[in-house]
Structure 1
Amino acid sequence: MLESYLTGLVVCGGIIVAIGAQNAYILSQAIRREHHWWSAGICMVADVTLFTLGMFGVSAALMAMPEALELLRWLGVAFLGWLAVQAFYRASRGRVALEAGEFTKRSLKGVLFTTLAVTLLNPQVYLDTLLLIPAVGAQQENATTFVAGASSASILWFGLVAWGGSALAPVLSRPTAWRLIDGVIGLMMAGIALQLAFSGL
């Protein structure tokens, strides 16, 4: 059982770290200190739910409906592209300009909606949580313990991103650092969108 748990923890931890869109968005929210724990919580709940569904056979249904993944692919391209444009716009104006004008905290509802969109409109999330991870879990001695390990990895990682971004906010919120972070976030979002558009799934 312990081996299954550790396998889930390590394998899923590596996969979660590689899903850049969620990480970049939560980090930006944490630096802004803008409902970042709610965003992290949404990602945790989504991962735990998808891990569990994947282990119970939803992956087979997903493979039987490739058109659903194709639709998600292009929705993801459009949404991630929009987030990239927003990040580049913020980077071009700089933090000072935002504070003087449009930088006002968004509502919790708006943040939750965007977090759900970043999570659910990225087809890579489904491929990882519903296909790849269950494929590894199926080889484990105890599937339930494997899911527990995978869920622990998600909770630990997103908690770390939310806490770390908030703790470093005084340093990372400086005008130059903020522009650099927004620029990197924009590049990550644009890169993922272009990869989805030209390389497919």
Structure 2
Amino acid sequence: MKQQRSRDKKEVMAQAAARLLIEEGPAAITHRNVADHAGLAPGSGNYYFPSKAELYRTAVSRAEDYRAEQAMLLAQQVQPAADPKELALALLNVLYAPKLKPNVVGIRLIPMLDAHKDPELQSIMRAHAPLLRSAVQQAVFAGAGQKIDDDCAELVSMSLSSALLYGQAIGAEDPIDYAADRIGALLGHLGLTSALRRA
């Protein structure tokens, strides 16, 4: 019974850490903050996760699980797009599930890129990549009526992230709108929106 309660509390902390990472970014992942958001005593964080690295690794793993799950759900809800920019925005929403927010570059994108470089976190990020590619493929099919292969889905995903970063770097008033506009143009060049033009 005691072991089950301990596992339950550790699970509550893992979920709280994932939510904090998605909503507030890596700086929010402290033992005290996670314990507080989990509704547990402040010292609980160190008890269930002895090191900050272990707590952060758990946060990344659970956040990526949730992101992949929500990306697939969002992909299933994509409607035929009226124009390439609308399709690009739908793809951004899928890729940055569960919710695309104005601060996506600083809170989500840069920490995800950093996680890909961290030997402790690379395997987590790589394990989720096929699920996210699949969600992008499904969203393209739903939005444009065309199937794309894994390589194309990866190219679209990388392009979406690159456009967000570039928009932020050049001081675009709205990096999301900038990325949707530029990637919409790219989708047109790739022929992924020919179904939209025929409609």
Q: Same fold (TM over 0.5)?
A: no
**TM-score, structure 1 normalization:** 0.31
Tell me which of the two structures has the higher relative contact order, counting C-alpha pairs closer than 8 angstroms and 6 or more residues apart: 1
Q: Which has the larger radius of gyration?
A: 2
